Amino acid sequence: PATARSALMFATIAATANSRTILYCVQDGVDLMVKGAVDREPDTKPGKPTLKQRLREAVESGIEFQVCSQSFANKGLKEDDLIPQAKITGAATLIDLALDSDGFLAF
């Protein structure tokens, strides 16, 4: 959860600075895009943002969410298992995004 919170926080900061921001989820990161997943986070310390808060902020800031199709398939998910903002894309999309970008962060 801590890594996911950080990824969402930095993505939100980038988006609010008017940068095109894409959160591309692979492996266990795909779990974050499953409906209701952020509601199952263990209790956080008082004053510490929850995953649900961070995801809401990210959605509101206009971040694009992409999910690796292979990771998605490996988890046995169905498209309607994902939050509405998540788009399933192939691994080549991630490579294209990285090659075309001015910069990126990886978590």
Which domain, by its residues, includes 31? 2-100
Q: What CATH number is attached to the domain comprising 18?
A: 3.40.1260.10
In a domain, residue 105? The reply is no
Indicate the number of domains in the chain: 1
* CA angle (5 as vertex; 103, 39 as ends), nearest 5: 140
- State the Rg of the chain over Cα: 13
Contact 9, 49 (CB under 8 A): yes
Within 8 A by CB and 6+ apart from 91, the residues are 68, 69, 70
- Give the pLDDT of the chain (107 residues) as one tens digit per residue: 889 999 999 999 999 999 999 999 999 999 999 999 999 988 778 888 999 999 999 999 999 999 999 999 999 999 999 999 999 999 999 999 999 999 999 99
